[in-house]
Every structure is written in structure tokens, then in C-alpha cells.
Amino acid sequence: MKWEAINKKEDNTVDLPDTWLFTHYFEALNILFRVENALRVFLFAVLKTTFEEKWLDINVTSDDAEQATISKIAKQRMAQAKTFGYLGYKIPCPLMYMTSGELIRIITSDSYWKHFNKYFLGSKEIIKTKLEEIGSVRNALAHFRPIKQDDVDLIKQNARHVLSNIEACLVDMMSCANSVPTNTSDDWYKELKTLGTDHCTLSFNQSNDEKWIMITFLYNCPVIGGRGSRHYRTNRVLSIKTSSILQLFPILQGSLVFLAEELRRPIMKENGPQCGKQFKMLFSRELLNRKYKDVKTEIENVLFKISKETNLLEDDNLARGELVQGVTIRSQWKKYEDKDTGCWSFDYESLRCEVNEDDPPEYWGRIGYIEKDYVTSTEDYPWMPVSVSKSDIPF
């Protein structure tokens, strides 16, 4: 038995062996992977916003025609997946263990359609039919039955019809590209805009439709030690264990839609690399209007704990915090070719808090650059500890 491999070329193109499947099979896999996962992200956002901390308790008809909660179905399948735990990645979100058929039944059920219908440009019957057609092609591919190029064209068209408005909503929600005006009169804003410490500052953004509020926390990572030479340095800096925020502050976990993080590229200073880490909390504006007092108290507690632990670890490098930890950053001076100048390069991935199997599903890890073509092009999905494709950043 001889398995032929892809031939990767210097210009980043590849040659497929003649014995491999026709390219429309790969195209179908790419489309189905992206459509199903975009649908999961959308489903999570709607369910979490609608049912808050009780979203896992909603009922769904499983593929076995049994009524059960999302939580129960997912726990059974997670346990089954652990039988072969050495395969693939461990994913913490229960929706990742729901089939496409179950996702469709949640969206189009008599009980829950009222929460989803405003996002679709069609009646429930039409949307259900188009999603089920996509599901039919998916099942054929999943069970290794042959598919036609016409099938690929159909899932492309149906995806455009079903997901075009959802894509726009997801991009608007996840990017929150507009600053909240400083003269905003909402009580939540007047209360929350006063928050911040010497270690952590807050900024506020909103979506174009103003339904979503992103609160961004910037933590300037203190340097607590280091050694090295003129061209190479190793430094210890403090960082935030982002996912632990949700585990330590359950009211926040129940209130927000997601928590994500983003790293700022370091700049070399005299005492070591100046690093910044952002973590972002997304809320629905409607929830903030209702629960801003509880949210404010929780954020105050987060900020106090970060400051307390930062001060502790600055005084005692061997101490350990629940939210703040020391990590190692390596820096190297690289000279430009044929020039007397150069720049510092940094290995700072240790600042990142990757997604682990024990993390709450509200922790999304890094969400990366949000493209307008999110459904077809995103490289990073929530809950996935690795990128699924190369970046297509247009700059």
C-alpha cells in the first residue's frame, strides 16, 4: 500500500498526486467546515445573549430522536471522545459536539425560532430547507459517498442565502469598530467609564448597530527580571491568565458573551521589552442596561485582584497568583542585511493564554483579525487552540 504525498513548491503552490480525489471534494470540505463552524459561533452568541447562564439547559432533539439538553448531549460525546484522547484537539465548547442536524433543529424549532428569525432573510421553512440541503451534502461527504460539482455549487449558493446577513452581524459584533461616544448618557457607561487602575486601563467600543459593547482591558506587563547581552536578552514579565477571570468571577461568565485576548508586539526599552496584553469582554447593550451594577462590581473585583497580585509578584518573583503569572520573553537583535542598523525580534507567545479543555465556553482565546468575509476566510475560530488556515490580512 503506497500513499502518495502532496508536493509543496517554492512558490507556495502544491501539486496533488493524480491518484488523489478530485479537487471539488476538497472544496466541499472547506465550505462545509466553515459554514458549520460559523453557524456554531452564531448559535452560541444568540443562545448566550438570550438565556445567559442557562443556555446549556435548553432542550434539543438529538440525532437519536431523544429530547435532552445541550449540556447532557455534549457531556456524553465529550466522554466518548476521551476514549481516543490522543487524537485531535480537546475542545471545551459543548456546541462543538453537536451535529449539524441538531444545530438546525435548535434554530428552526417552534420554541427557539423567535430568537433567530430576525437574522435570516427568509421564512423558517425556506431556511430549514436550505440548511438541510447543505446537511445532505455534508452527510454524503462525511460518509464517503461521491458528490458532484453541482453539489458544491449548491452549498455555496445556500450558504450565501442563509448566512450573508449572519456574517454581517458576526463581523459587527466581534469587531465593535466604533468608540462609545464620551457623552453617552446610559447609566452603564457613566458607571463603568470611571473604572481603571495603574496596572489596567479600560476602553469602550460598540458595534455599528449599537447592540454590542466591547470592553477592552489593557495590562502593561511589568518586567520583573532579566539577563542577557547586547544582542540577546531573556526577561521575566508579568502576564494575565485570561481564562481564569471567568472561573474566578462566575457573575461575569454568566453575563458576557465572550472573553478574548490579544497581544501587543513588544518594544525594547532600557529595562527590557515593554509588552502589552489586552483582554476583551463582549456584552449585549441590553444586558448592561439591566445588570450594570453587578457587572461593575465584578470588574472592580477583577481589577483589584490584578493590582494586588501584580504588586505581590513584583515584590516576590517566586510567588504565584491566580490571575497574574510570570512568563519568559526572549529577545534577539537582528542586523539588517548589508546595513549597520537592525531591530529587535521577540518570542512572546508565552504571554498568550491558550484555550484548554477545562475552560468555560465563554473563553474564546484569540479571535484574530475579523474580516468582512468572516464565513469564508477567518483563520481563527473560538474554542479552537490552533488556526485552521493562513492569514489573509489585506495589509
User: Each residue of 352-371: pLDDT tens digit?
Assistant: 998 988 999 999 998 878 88
**Number of other CB atoms surrounding residue 22 within 10 Å:** 11
What pTM did the predictor assign? 0.92
What is the reported pLDDT for 305?
97
Q: At what angle do helices 23-51 and 100-108 cross, to 10 degrees?
A: 40
Mean pLDDT for 184-210 is 96
Q: Tell me, yes or no, whether 130 and 276 share the same domain.
A: no
Residue 32 pLDDT > 80:
yes
Q: Tell me, yes or no, whether 31 and 157 share the same domain.
A: yes
Residue 351 pLDDT > 90:
yes
Q: Tell me, yes or no, whether 150 and 219 share the same domain.
A: no
Confidence band, pLDDT 50/70/90 cuts, at residue 393: low
Q: Tell me, yes or no, whether 83 and 162 share the same domain.
A: yes
**Enclosing domain of residue 250:** 179-353
Q: Tell me, yes or no, whether 202 and 146 share the same domain.
A: no
Q: Is 390 among the domain residues?
A: no
Residue 66 pLDDT > 90:
no
Q: Is 377 among the domain residues?
A: no
Confidence band, pLDDT 50/70/90 cuts, at residue 3: confident
Q: Tell me, yes or no, whether 205 and 294 share the same domain.
A: yes
Q: Tell me, yes or no, whether 170 and 210 share the same domain.
A: no
Q: Give the amino acid at 215.
A: I
Mean pLDDT for 159-165 is 95
How confident is the model over 39-57, as pLDDT tens digits?
999 999 999 999 999 999 9
Q: Kindly report the backbone phi and psi dihedral angles of residue 6, in degrees, each rounded to the nearest multiple of 5, phi listed first.
A: -65, 140
Q: Tell me, yes or no, whether 295 and 347 share the same domain.
A: yes
Give the Cα separation of 33 and 374 in Å (integer). Answer: 13
What is the reported pLDDT for 318?
84
Q: Which of 175, 194, 223 is the last residue of a domain?
A: 175
Among 98-112, 220-234, 296-310, 332-346, whose mean pLDDT is lowest? Answer: 332-346
What is the reported pLDDT for 394?
55
Percent of the chain scoring above 90 in pLDDT: 78
- Provide the domain count of the chain: 2
Q: Tell me, yes or no, whether 239 and 155 share the same domain.
A: no
Do the beta carbons of residue 333 and residue 232 sit within 8 Å?
Answer: yes
Q: Tell me, yes or no, whether 195 and 158 share the same domain.
A: no
Q: Which position has the grid cell 420554541?
A: 111
Confidence band, pLDDT 50/70/90 cuts, at residue 392: low
Residue 339 pLDDT > 80:
no
Q: Tell me, yes or no, whether 247 and 124 share the same domain.
A: no
Give the Cα separation of 395 and 283 in Å (integer). Answer: 29
Q: Which of residues 315 and 11 earns the better pLDDT score?
A: 315
Q: Is 393 among the domain residues?
A: no
What is the reported pLDDT for 209?
94
